[in-house]
Chain A
Amino acid sequence: AQKVTQAQTEISVVEKEDVTLDCVYETRDTTYYLFWYKQPPSGELVFLIRRNSFDEQNEISGRYSWNFQKSTSSFNFTITASQVVDSAVYFCALSEKTTSGTYKYIFGTGTRLKVLA
């Protein structure tokens, strides 16, 4: 079973629309970390947010907001008033403890967002 599921392969929206990218994760640990990364057409992955499992507060950063719900194992990402520059592939990632005590990073398969002018 996939540990991080991004069921939306590709989403297209028109500029100024709001869009939510879904991320569902699976872990047995009580301590884990969740991340979102953006990969624009230029190719470089850019860190967006980190959240630990004990902090369920939603976060807002400009037009970006994140909704973390442990009850549904989801960490969704919303872009408000989308812009063409938001067009990118967005990856959700989970860091959970392995048997050796280190944490292992697992990326979802990504959601390609296309914002049309």
Chain B
Amino acid sequence: DSGVTQTPKHLITATGQRVTLRCSPRSGDLSVYWYQQSLDQGLQFLIQYYNGEERAKGNILERFSAQQFPDLHSELNLSSLELGDSALYFCASSVDGKGTYEQYFGPGTRLTVT
């Protein structure tokens, strides 16, 4: 158990809908990272937050957004969903904001868009 929690575990929704994925980092970790893992694109970094502020952006679509709250939990919002958004979404946390330390991953949220 990494100490990172993600909810929900599974999500099935229709195209055009909007969903919110939630992540709680390990105790003491200030950084939260979001990743998308799909079969054809591997593990893609989406976005990083550190202590409430956006720190780094990866291949995140404009339809997607995220935020980190004062209690350090984070939410990833996916809107106008398309079939291609079906993937495993991971949240990871790390002690630092720079990205030089190991990341601890949550169990992931499997999103299926039908």
Q: A45-B90, A110-B43 are in contact. Are A102 and B98 (CB under 8 A)?
A: yes
Tell whether, in the assembled complex, residue A44 and residue B99 are in contact, meaning their CB atoms are under 8 Å apart: no
Tell whether, in the assembled complex, residue A102 and residue B102 are in contact, meaning their CB atoms are under 8 Å apart: no
Tell which of B56, B88, B102 touches A98, judged by Cβ atoms closer than 8 Å.
B56
Total residues of chain A contacting the partner, CB 8 A: 23
Binds A, one of B16-24, B67-75, B104-112: B104-112
In the bound complex, what is the Cα–Cα distance between A44 and B97 (angstroms)?
22
Q: A43-B107, A44-B106 are in contact. Are A103 and B43 (CB under 8 A)?
A: no
Q: A95: CB under 8 A from chain B?
A: yes
Q: B28: CB under 8 A from chain A?
A: no
The residues of A that contact B101 with a CB separation of less than 8 Å are: 33, 50
Q: On chain B, which size bracket covers the interface?
A: 20 to 34
Q: A91: CB under 8 A from chain B?
A: yes
- Which A-chain residue is minimally distant from B42 (CB atoms)? A109
Tell whether, in the assembled complex, residue A50 and residue B2 are in contact, meaning their CB atoms are under 8 Å apart: no
Those of B48-94 within 8 Å (CB) of chain A: 48, 55-56, 58, 88, 90, 92
Tell which of A37, A44, A103, A110 touches B98, judged by Cβ atoms closer than 8 Å.
A103
Tell whether, in the assembled complex, residue A44 and residue B107 are in contact, meaning their CB atoms are under 8 Å apart: yes
Tell whether, in the assembled complex, residue B104 and residue A95 are in contact, meaning their CB atoms are under 8 Å apart: no
- Which B-chain residue is minimally distant from A98 (CB atoms)? B56
Question: B30: shortest Cβ distance to chain A, in Å?
Answer: 14
Binding site for B on A (CB under 8 A): 33, 35, 37, 42-47, 50, 52, 91, 95, 98, 100, 102-107, 109-110
Task: Offer 10 A-B interface pairs, CB within 8 angstroms, sorted by A.
Answer: A44-B105, A45-B105, A46-B2, A46-B105, A47-B104, A50-B101, A98-B56, A102-B98, A102-B99, A105-B33
